């Protein structure tokens, strides 16, 4: 995916959700430039230090990205995209926001994965959905009652088959511990 600079309507649509000042209260110089830098790097697999010089200092941009992430900005943006009309400027930049969310998942964790799944933004996940944890499936499995102990041989086979199925679903709900880099980077 090739990033593109934010247009004026796109920037105005995203402006209510971003942090205009630092924690010390200082105004941030050019918010649009910072967001363009974040979206530029989110569309690549490069580390922050590889940010092109025209986008500013990598440390400054990554610090702003972390602040946005810890403030819950990406969750708010995903929810806003879901609730926005089809012709909204937020919908136009939804792929860029989803790409930025992939980097934010590392900082936000399981709750962010669950939110992206519930809202239907599988492209915001940082890997194939079948390989990532599924907290909703885990909760559903926890609520299922266990069948009574089997009394006959036929009931025992059915009971064991049910236990194997539940074990498989439980592993599926937990995802895999380490997703190989080539699989993560190939996920689009």
Give the pLDDT score at 57: 92
Q: With 80 as the cut, is the pLDDT of residue 2 above it?
A: no
Task: Name beta bridge partners: 27.
Answer: 21
pTM for the model stands at: 0.80
Read off the pLDDT of each residue in 141-165 and give the average, rounded to a whole number: 83
pLDDT tens for each residue of 20-41:
877 777 777 789 999 999 999 9
Domain spans in the chain, listed from the N-terminal domain onward: 8-126, 127-188
Give the least confident one: 25-34, 160-169, 175-184. Answer: 175-184
Give the pLDDT score at 1: 66
pLDDT tens for each residue of 68-100:
999 999 999 999 999 999 999 999 999 999 999
Q: How does DSSP classify residue 49?
A: G
Read off the pLDDT of each residue in 172-180 and give the average, rounded to a whole number: 78
Residues 124/100, Cβ–Cβ less than 8 Å:
no
Residues 131/176, Cβ–Cβ less than 8 Å:
yes
* ∠ CA 93-78-185, rounded to 5°: 70
Read off the pLDDT of each residue in 39-59 and give the average, rounded to a whole number: 90
Give the pLDDT score at 37: 94
Percent of the chain with pLDDT over 70: 98
Tell me phi and psi for residue 27, to 5 degrees. Answer: -70, 145
Residue 152 vs residue 32, higher pLDDT: 32
């Amino acid at each position: 995916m090739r990033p593109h600079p934010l247009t004026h309507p796109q920037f105005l649509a995203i402006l209510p959700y971003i942090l205009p000042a630092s924690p010390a209260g200082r105004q941030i110089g050019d918010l649009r430039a910072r967001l363009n830098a974040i979206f530029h790097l989110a569309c690549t697999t490069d580390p922050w230090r590889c940010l092109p010089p025209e986008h500013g200092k990598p440390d400054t941009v990554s610090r702003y990205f972390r602040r946005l992430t810890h403030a819950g900005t990406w969750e708010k943006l995903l929810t806003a995209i879901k609730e926005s009309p089809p012709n909204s400027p937020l919908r136009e930049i939804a792929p860029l926001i989803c790409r930025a969310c992939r980097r934010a998942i590392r900082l936000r964790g399981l709750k962010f994965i669950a939110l992206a799944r519930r809202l239907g933004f599988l492209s915001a996940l940082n890997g194939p959905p079948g390989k990532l944890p599924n907290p909703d499936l885990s909760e559903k499995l926890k609520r299922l009652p266990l069948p009574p102990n089997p009394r006959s041989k036929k009931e025992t086979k059915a009971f064991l088959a049910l236990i194997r199925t539940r074990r498989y679903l439980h592993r599926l709900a937990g995802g895999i511990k380490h997703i190989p880099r080539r699989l993560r980077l190939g996920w689009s």
